[in-house]
Structure 1
């Protein structure tokens, strides 16, 4: 009984349900915004350092991740308020609730035919150009970003929270935020953001594959075609430029039978992305509604799995 109570009221469980219920309240300060301001300030200075942009970028990764870890470790170790700080940093490090909220808002706009507003809503979730997308393209793009960010926004942060507490979670989030801001293969960030992109690839390597596994398990329990997904995921995931993004994306594409990939425009340049999932099957509104249910079920299964490993490792 005591073990059950400790499991149910553990930090990862409470943080997950706070995230699902509250999302990211706009009026509360959020560490990611502070990281964004820090990186904007750091960029100009890093470009003036002498070792070269790649070496400067690597030093920025160490400074940012190490600084985030140290700051959270300090606040969570304070007497009296440390427990509240731990809960806040754990909750703020998970982003599934906000992802679901913004995704549902975008889907509602698409469903109502408000394409201009829908393009802006989907554009806020992705780095590609959305201004010329029609309804099917918007639905496919929304499915892609939802499935990819299930790992980046929830499974990976939860993995590091369970592994090393809020401080390790925010060391990971610091690297992930750097990758989202600097990890582009553009002239501006090709060298400076190289270390951030590689570090994020390394840190998300295992969580991405665990996300695909949790998706398959959730899909099996929901009666989705998990066997065909299992046959295709490894090869399709390896076809992507990213070593990690293809795992949850391919899993969702096959489980819900909708195509992903194809032509996209990034920073004014056309790019042909590898195709994932069954060829030529569009993402309907109903499929997107099912992806939300799949994501929540997957998240809860992942939480259960991580908690079970954590509990049994302490016995």
Structure 2
């Protein structure tokens, strides 16, 4: 019963408060720890083979440390009052969720597009994507925003909630550490190919089941919002595996199918063009309102899933 209320409280906190800049955020601390551990590893090991072996240390130290520190904190608070544990756990879990931040980021791009301020829209999009945005037109900015909203439904909402259900705040924080590792070192370039491989693989494993749950939930959400739920499911079955990521294709193809648009295509990173497999069919031209629709899908999906998690926790403990 307590777990159910903690999960619901964490989700409400995120929806109402998000990530206030004036408060310290655990992910910022994780980023500093990752950078420090990486420097230490590179000072000690320099050859590709040794770096590849040392790459296993990153998730062990960072994710294991995140779990251990969180568990120790909650145990210390339990010596004073169970209420302190519940409050701290709800707050910590809320920091692993980013439904409000994801919606706000998407709406920032939408607002500038609606005003016709293309340079400002490009700047807003550049805050949430890694691709070059300086030459993008309105449909391409819509595509970039919708792809970002869709992809992050998994790692910013569904996965942390699932791991919070299974292991409370410690496991949710360990998952967030894995995801942060992937975003910092999980690249297949010359710098991180050897050091970051374990972090990237662990992130793929951690998101494998949540990504597929998300696709099913998005199909249900498309039906509830009177979008094309049949095409949503069809597009997932046809296109999800074409994505270079074993997981990102599931939410992206689901959103593309529900909206009747085509995601994927050419992106430019630091002046170099890169092609990503198409998701969905271009049944119509993308419009700024697609950002709103994608955000509605994301918010409904997150609300349904936290409700399912709370119900599962309640049933798990015998009601």
TM bucket normalised to smaller: over 0.9
- The equivalent residue for 2:268 is 265
Q: From 288, 309, 314, give the equivalent of 1:311.
A: 314
- The equivalent residue for 1:103 is 106
What SS class does the counterpart of residue 166 from structure 1 fall into? helix
Shift of 1:273: 0.5
- The equivalent residue for 1:69 is 67
Contact 1:35-1:174 at 8 Å conserved across structures: yes
1:191 aligns with 2:194: yes
Shift of 1:48: 2.8
Q: From 249, 254, 259, give the equivalent of 2:252.
A: 249
Contact 2:10-2:94 at 8 Å conserved across structures: yes
Q: From 70, 77, 87, give the equivalent of 2:90.
A: 87
Give the Cα separation in 2 of the matches to 1:230 and 1:167: 34
Contact 1:260-1:277 at 8 Å conserved across structures: yes
Shift of 1:281: 3.3
Contact 2:214-2:251 at 8 Å conserved across structures: yes
- The equivalent residue for 1:284 is 287
1:231 aligns with 2:234: yes
Gaps of 5+ in 1: none
1:10 aligns with 2:5: yes
What SS class does the counterpart of residue 204 from structure 1 fall into? helix
Gaps of 5+ in 2: none
Shift of 1:145: 0.3
TM-score under structure 2 length normalisation: 0.93
Contact 1:106-1:122 at 8 Å conserved across structures: yes
Give the Cα separation in 2 of the matches to 1:122 and 1:185: 24
Contact 1:47-1:56 at 8 Å conserved across structures: no
Give the Cα separation in 2 of the matches to 1:24 and 1:254: 31
Give the Cα separation in 2 of the matches to 1:43 and 1:267: 24
Contact 2:74-2:89 at 8 Å conserved across structures: yes
Contact 2:154-2:214 at 8 Å conserved across structures: yes
- Map 1:285-304 onto structure 2 (within 5 A): 285-304=288-307
Contact 1:253-1:260 at 8 Å conserved across structures: yes
Q: Provide the alpha-carbon RMSD of the alignment.
A: 1.6
1:149 aligns with 2:152: yes
Contact 1:23-1:101 at 8 Å conserved across structures: no
Shift of 1:313: 2.6
1:30 aligns with 2:25: yes
Give the Cα separation in 1 of the matches to 2:157 and 2:283: 29
- Please list the CA deviations of residues 108-164 of structure 1 after superposition, one character each: whole Å capped at 9, or x if unmatched: 012212222211211111111112111111111000000000111111111101111
Q: Relative contact order: is structure 1 or structure 2 higher (C-alpha 8 Å, sep ≥ 6)? A: 2
- Please list the CA deviations of residues 152-191 of structure 1 after superposition, one character each: whole Å capped at 9, or x if unmatched: 1111111101111000001100000000111111211111
